[in-house]
A and B are shown apart, each in its own frame.
Chain A
Amino acid sequence: NAGVMQNPRHLVRRRGQEARLRCSPMKGHSHVYWYRQLPEEGLKFMVYLQKENIIDESGMPKERFSAEFPKEGPSILRIQQVVRGDSAAYFCASSPTRGSEAFFGQGTRLTVV
């Protein structure tokens, strides 16, 4: 049973470009969570999705950021018109049900140049 798969592992984007981060949850998991980690900081919650639904996006910046978890395929975190401050590690976690323990992926390290 493969773990949570994130790709790419490393992503470099120029200011103003778009970044698309992908997350495939563990088999049987329908709940996905996205977190952002700045250097030397803890993780900050961004968004919680269930298949085709956004459950809680209270941690997501109002502009330029969006997330989806379609019926088929991975969850996508999309950052439009990236700025240097978006440089961080983005982690995805999944769980089989709400309220159960979650497992994190290896993360995508986004660098904006």
Chain B
Amino acid sequence: GENVEQHPSTLSVQEGDSAVIKCTYSDSASNYFPWYKQELGKGPQLIIDIRSNVGEKKDQRIAVTLNKTAKHFSLHITETQPEDSAVYFCAATSGGGADGLTFGKGTHLIIQP
């Protein structure tokens, strides 16, 4: 089955700086890679996703890159703000949607004022 590794487990950055979270996956059949933000006591919120037919996708301050050859994908947040503080999860699936998503263990992002 699929295995997703996520690093780092904790990331502390100064407000205004950039944050990068990296994930690797094992199943070459995986074709959908969403990123979720989870705040304390809440459910995961989809913030951006990428499918295997593209290498990069951007939405305002958030971008995701995918390297299918190396089987890794990354989340980039620029100009970080205090409200970006949360736990971020990467996930992968060959189902193309939310069925059978394999999640990483999460990155606790802390934005220092």
Interface, chain A (partner B; CB < 8 A): 4, 6, 31, 33, 35, 40-45, 48, 55-56, 58-59, 91, 93, 95, 97-107
Contact = CB atoms under 8 A, between A and B. Distances in A.
Interface residues of B, number: 26
Contact of A100 (B44, B97, B101): B97
Given A43-B89, A43-B103, A48-B98, 20 more contacts: A4-B43, A31-B99, A40-B105, A42-B4, A43-B101, A44-B103, A45-B99, A55-B99, A56-B99, A58-B100, A59-B100, A97-B97, A98-B95, A99-B95, A99-B97, A100-B97, A101-B46, A101-B97, A102-B98, A106-B43
25 contacts: A6-B43, A31-B97, A35-B101, A40-B106, A41-B106, A42-B6, A42-B103, A43-B89, A43-B91, A48-B98, A48-B100, A97-B97, A98-B96, A99-B96, A99-B97, A101-B34, A101-B46, A102-B46, A104-B36, A104-B46, A105-B43, A106-B42, A106-B43, A107-B42, A107-B43
Contacts of A101: 34, 46, 49, 97-98
Given A101-B34, A101-B49, A43 B99 contact: no
Contacts of A56: 99-100
A91 B43 contact: yes
A95 B103 contact: no
